[in-house]
Structure 1
Amino acid sequence: MQTLHASTPDDYAAALAAHPRLLVDYYKDDCPGCKMLDMSLAKFAADPASEGVALLKVKMEIVGEDFFRGLGLRQTPTLALFKDGSEAARLPGFQTPPQIAGAVAQHL
């Protein structure tokens, strides 16, 4: 699974346009659940279900709180699944590797 990082709203838009199957991890540094989700994503990356899926990391401290609010995000971590540039599902809070794999299978 390829991992990308968005540091501007333009980076975010470019990743959505370039990757037909995209997981977006909205996170911030001082978030314990975000660190746990990182571990789940690392385990999911080793799963064959992650093949062809890209991961975009969007850090609130870098892109800004206004950007997060504009997307309707209410908490970190939040994992969103995008298919062909459109949001297919949003998973707020910590997710286990099987939960991530199930959501990818269902929505991507």
Structure 2
Amino acid sequence: MQTLHASSPDDYFATLAAHPRLLVDYYKDDCPGCRMLDMSLQKFAGESAAAGLVLLKVKLETVGEEFFRALGLRQTPTLALFDRGAEARRLPGFQAPGQILREVQLWLPVAEPVDA
């Protein structure tokens, strides 16, 4: 699983447009739950379901509180799953690795190759 960091709202929207299967971790520095979610994401990265996914880290202190509010975010951490640029699922609060795995398998399944 590749990890990218948004340094501006423009970076955020460009990444949404460029990556069809995307996890977005909305976080801030002074947040114990955010650090715990980061550990869960590191464990999830070893799962086969993480192959081909991109993780976009969006830090409140970098992109600004106004941007977070405009997205309707009410708490950190929040993890969002995006399928071809559209938000498929939003998971507020801490998520265990198994929860992340289940949500990715449900909302961001890997397309099976089509035999010609």
Distance in 2 of aligned mates of 1:30 and 1:106: 31
Question: Offset of 1:92 from its aligned partner?
Answer: 0.2
1:94 aligns with 2:94: yes
Please report how far the alpha carbon of residue 34 of structure 1 lies from its aligned counterpart in structure 2 after TM superposition.
Answer: 0.1
- Separation in 2, partners of 1:98, 1:19: 23
Aligned pairs (5 A) from 1:17-96 = 17-96=17-96
Alignment coverage as a number of residue pairs: 108
Moved over 2 A (4+): none
User: If the length of structure 2 is used for normalisation, what is the TM-score?
Assistant: 0.92
Deviation digits for residues 23-79 of structure 1, max 9, x if unmatched? 000000000000000000000001111011100000000000000000000000000
Query: Which has the larger Rg?
Result: 2
Distance (whole Å) between structure 1 residues aligned to residue 72 and residue 17 of structure 2 = 20
Tell me which residue corresponds to 2:3. Answer: 3
| Aligned alpha-carbon RMSD (Å) | 0.3
- Is there any run of 5+ residues in structure 1 with no aligned partner, and where? none
2: CA distance, partners of 1:17 / 1:80: 15
